[in-house]
Amino acid sequence: MNFMRCLPVKTEQAVPRHDEALNFMTLYVALPPHKSLIIIQTVSQMKNIVLALLLLFTISTHAQFKSARLQALGLTCAMCSNAITKALKTIPFVETVEVDLQNTSYNLKFKEGAEVNFDAIRKKVEGAGFTVGMLSVVAEFKDAKVKNDALLMFGGQVFHFVNVKEQVLNGEQQFRIINKYFVPLKEAKKFQSLSKSEILKTEKAGAEGKALGVDAAARVFNVTI
C-alpha cells in the first residue's frame, strides 16, 4: 500500500482530503508524482468496491428455506414411489420426507440453517428414473421487496420473479420454481410468454444480473408466487 492515514501534522506536505464515500477525513502524505498516481488509483478502486457492494445489497435479502412440496411424474406403482423416497432421504439438507401416494407428491422438511440446493433435489428424482412436475418451496422472508422480472438474492442463490405484483414478503411465503425440468414443457412455455427477460430462457444472470453486481454466469431460479 502506497499511502498512510495519519493524525494532523504541521507540515506543508500533508494534504487533507474528505472521502465522502467512506465518510472519514484522511491525510495523504505528498509523494513523488508516480507514487501519488498510485494513491489516486487505489482510492478509486476502493470506491468501486464499495459501490459494487451497495448494488449487491440492494437485491439481497434475508430468507430461510423451510420446506418444499415435490410432485413427481411417471410413477406407476408403489415401488416407484419408494425409489424416489429413498433417493430424497439421501440428500444432506433434507431432514424428513413424507409421501402422499394419492397425489404422487412428497413433503420435504429442510434442516434448519442448512444450505439448500434445488438442482440436487431434481437430480435425485431423475436419478431414480422419473421427472419433476412441480417444486413448491416455503421460505421465511423479512422485508423482501419483489415485483415482476425482479432479481432477488437469498439463501445463497439468485431468483427471478415472474408474473408477480409488486409487494413486500414477510413471514412464511410459498413460491414455485418454474425452470426447465422443474415443470412440464408446455407449462414452461406458458410462463415464458409472461416475461420479456432473457433470464427466463437462459436461467443465467446475464447482463441484467451483472448490472446489479451479480456474476453473469450465476445460476438463476425463475419463480412465481
pLDDT in tens, 4-22: 444 444 444 444 444 444 4
100-114, 166-180, 188-202: least confident range: 188-202
pLDDT at position 1, please? 47
pLDDT in tens, 12-71: 444 444 444 444 333 334 444 444 433 333 444 444 444 443 334 345 566 799 999 999
Name the strand (E) or helix (H) holding 166: none
Which structural domains are found in the chain, ordered by start?
14-58 (no CATH), 62-224 (3.30.70.100)
CA–CA distance, 152 with 214 (Å, rounded to integer): 10
pLDDT tens-place string over residues 59-104: 556 679 999 999 999 988 888 899 999 999 999 999 999 999 888 8
Which residues neighbour 180 within 8 Å (Cβ) at sequence distance 6 or greater? 188, 203
pTM of the entire predicted model: 0.73
